[in-house]
Amino acid sequence: MKLYWSSRSPFVRKVMVAAHEAGVADRIACESVRVNSMDPHLPLMDINPLGKIPTLVLDEGEIIYDSVVICAYFDILNPKAGLIPTDPARRILALKREALGDGLMETLLNWLGERFRQQGEHSDKRIAVNKLKVANSLTLLEKQASDLAATPLDIGHIALGSALAYMDFRFGDLNWRADHPRLTDWHAAFSKRPSVVATAFFDDLAAKKA
């Protein structure tokens, strides 16, 4: 399988953590691509009309996107990994957590996009809304941290953990741990998993310039 990939994408990180947890990471060849709203990757758009990553190409040529569907495919390959629980109540809980994690990633990406705009072009109001969404998400997750720790790892944990890791990678100035001790403890344990250690964020563009 080929995965269109970036070392800086939270959604790619989520997919790669899931791949390791499902035991299929060694079957994936990663192809690094750079995508953004102002500079579309045209070859990628030939197979994914949205031109977004992650995009997975199966050996037989079938194309799978986005991260939700890719992770669901990994669960099909290895149901015993428990990425998506079969128990109805646990399944809904896992998918709700995944939705929150994915939404938090999207919010952080929108916020980062505003930060990258030149002075006078960014929207202070849009930044404030994104900041509020992040704060509300952290408040909720702090309340749910004990339940997160007590539940076996699934796609919800992976999405939330990847989102918090992206916050560290791009928004270290937020110091989110200061007011969220239980969530801090949960994320510290999550971050020690081999799947998480093996998929750490890094700025590949900066490495190329060095």
CA proximity to 153, closest of 85, 209, 201, 207: 85
d(CA 10, CA 16): 10
Please enumerate in sequence order all residues whose Cβ is within 8 A of that of 197, keeping only pairs 6 or more positions apart, or say none.
Answer: 191
The one-character DSSP state at 118 is P
Specify burial of residue 89 (Cβ count, 10 A radius: 0-12, 13-18, 19+): exposed
d(CA 93, CA 104): 16
d(CA 13, CA 6): 8
Q: What is the pLDDT along the chain (210 residues), one digit of tens a residue?
A: 999 999 999 999 999 999 999 999 999 999 999 887 777 889 999 999 999 999 999 999 999 999 999 999 999 999 999 999 999 999 999 999 999 999 999 999 999 988 777 666 678 888 999 999 999 999 999 999 999 999 999 999 999 999 999 999 999 999 999 999 999 999 999 999 999 999 999 987 544 432
The DSSP bridge pattern shows strands 55-57 and 29-32 to be unpaired
